[in-house]
Structure 1
């Protein structure tokens, strides 16, 4: 495995005279980390808080929990879909217009969600529009941060991805606090104003370091001739099949199967995101020492092992214990996903166009499978494969 990391690190090196070496620190570089954190907070933090919305929609809409979860599934699918193509726009030097379009779409989706009164309204606003908007901006922001670091790239990206955990912690708390008192429309608007404030800062301070790459296709097909890259993308493909089920279903599972209240079940989403915060910081530090690929493999194994224990959860205590362990394991893996891509990319000015293909393709298949799973109307049938 050590040889594998040597190959990956060599592939990510900078060619002398072509691209200047990254500063690997300093005010400008760490400012990009802070701005990237805001983007991930507002995009993936919002996405990972869907469990709170799922719990609310389950009690207010006539659709089943599995049908309602399609809103979140579509949101994730379009987030990865947008990211699969928007990265090339960063490489080409179009960061500012790309960010403005993506941020604008996400905000439009959130504010229109506040006016939604039916399942299909939410599917379009919260699922499609916010998903596309978030996808357009999150992948370029991660790739942009990666170009400022080399030796400290793991910790830099790890710090950025903590926005995922903190956003997934804060948004459910806001929903839990405001929903009973001001209702869903104004709760959604408050979330929109939070994102708007952050996006203003990002538009002012986040700037790309590398010169534009004017040539090259939107999709870098040459990357798929790289065995290492294809293997990594294939791993992400299978991982994304399952990881977001837990984020979406666990709160509803707590309500329907073990009798938790809406307020208590909403805390599950907060817990599962909050406990992943330490691993999102510490595991990338380890990755900088032993290599991202050497770290992400055992992290993926831990996620799989913990996921299988869900079938043994039958009470409130079990839900809390499972959410803690799953949050820790999934936080570690998710923090390493972008770092792994950067470590196997031969040119950092192509990171944007190579990021998140495995995640997008995995989501595409996962969304199709969800249609079949939606026919199972009990959690027992879903967890254990029973009809």
Structure 2
């Protein structure tokens, strides 16, 4: 007899692959290929300023596009079509970016590419809420945890010496994205899940959604700050720390957090406790940050950061899936997830000013103490979040 869950489980696996494809779509470009291209046009000194400018404009374009295309996929009831169109447009624009020979041209191409990328990612995020039942959202979140690692791995792949260079690297990225995303677009999707909500339920859901958003924002600010400034902090503790040691620390955290997120996600499904792992991870993240603030040497600092890095990675992966439980209006899921995505983009605007304001005056321990309070507040915010059954 055919297992009725088989279509859903197949969709979840293909969806997780597509989500990784979305990550592959931007990680190699923004972390490696774009900086190299900008440095080649502007030089290393002014290139840094141009990269900051591009990152700011790109983040604004991504935020607005996520809301717009999520909303359009809501009102047209056609997630698949928007995902396919965004895939085609973003992959084409990757090739266009590689052909740009002026910095203003790169800025314009990046904005257009962000529109195409989020034409794909906004509806894709909402599609999981349409089709994945609540008792599989922990599994979904665990599988989505593979995406950052695959994004980083793709960057290492396309930059292998002799494999490809310049324009060909961006073409290879586009190919990888298409290979990952097309299977879920072409797959026969499971039945649509819709549970009509009464006005009273929508009112309650708005409050829960706000708590979930604030909790993610708090953890995301801490994660973004540490991602950007970890190496400088470690150097302040030990001038002999190398960039390779820092990279290996990031890799180790990734290797530990991905299977852990999958295990914890499955546990939350089986026990029907979707929010408890998020609370625990937020509080453990706060302990890791507190340990970093008090660390006397580089070994203790790395261990404390490892605790923070693993717990925050698991939190962010599972949070993405469990958010789908508490959105106030299923018929506006795409729009609301676009608004939720601001919790991922706002930290990149807040983090530099936060660091500049605190570190020169009070040092890194004060910064980590503040971030620990933010992470702990995320755990407290989630204490009263109880999704409707």
What's the TM-score, normalizing by structure 1? 0.70
CA distance in 2, matches of 1:89, 1:31: 26
1:277-336 Cα shifts (integer Å, max 9, x gaps): 112212212322252222212212333443455567899867865664444222211122
2:15 is aligned to 36
SS across alignment from 1:147: helix
Equivalenced residue count is 352
Q: Partners in 1 of 2:345 and 2:73 — Cα distance?
A: 23
Shift of 1:381: 8.8
Please name the residue that 2:377 is paired with.
Answer: none
Kept in 2: contact 1:74–1:131 (CA 8 A): no
- The equivalent of 1:244 in structure 2 is 224
Q: Please, which of 259, 263, 271 is the counterpart of residue 282 of structure 1?
A: 263
Report the equivalent of 1:112.
96
Return closer, same or farther for 1:344/1:212 CA change in 2, 3 Å cut-off. closer
CA, structure 1 residues 154+201, in 2 after alignment: closer, same or farther (shift >3 Å)? closer
Greater helix proportion: 2
Q: Please say if residues 203 and 328 of structure 2, whose CA atoms lie closer than 8 Å, have aligned partners that are also in contact.
A: no
Partner of 2:381: none
Q: 1:96 Cα shift?
A: 2.9
Structure 2 contact 35–51 (Cα < 8 Å) conserved = no
Cα offset for 1:205? 1.6
Does 2:335 align with 1:353?
yes
Say which of 31, 40, 44 aligns to 1:61. Answer: 44
Question: For 2:25 and 2:233, how far apart are their aligned partners in 1?
Answer: 20
- Pick from 114, 133, 140: which aligns with 1:150? 133
Alignment of 1:86 onto 2:69: yes
Matched residues in 1 for 2:86 and 2:70: separation? 12
Q: Displacement of 1:184 after TM fit?
A: 4.5
Distance 1:381 1:52 in 2: 33
The DSSP-based 3-state class of the residue aligned with 2:282 is: helix
The offset of 1:363, in angstroms, is 2.4
CA contact (8 A) 1:176 1:263 kept: no
Q: 1:192 matched to which residue of 2?
A: 174
Partner of 1:133: 116
Shift of 1:164: 1.6
Alignment-derived partner of residue 209 in structure 1: 191
CA RMSD of aligned residues (A): 4.5
1:344 aligns with 2:323: no
Q: Is the 8 A contact 1:111 1:188 kept in 2?
A: yes
| Contact 2:74 2:331 survives alignment (8 Å) | yes
How many Å apart are 1:206 and its aligned residue?
Answer: 6.0
Query: Structure 2 regions of 5+ residues with no counterpart?
Result: 196-201, 368-389
* Segment drifting more, 306-315 vs 165-174: 306-315
- CA distance in 2 between counterparts of 1:339 and 1:295 reads 12
**Compared CA separation, residues 167 and 151, structure 1 to 2 (3 A):** same
Given the alignment of the two structures, is residue 232 of structure 1 paired with residue 215 of structure 2, yes or no? Answer: no
Is the partner of 2:132 in helix, strand or coil?
coil
Distance in 1 of aligned mates of 2:16 and 2:113: 18
Deviation of 1:161 after TM superposition, in Å, equals 0.7
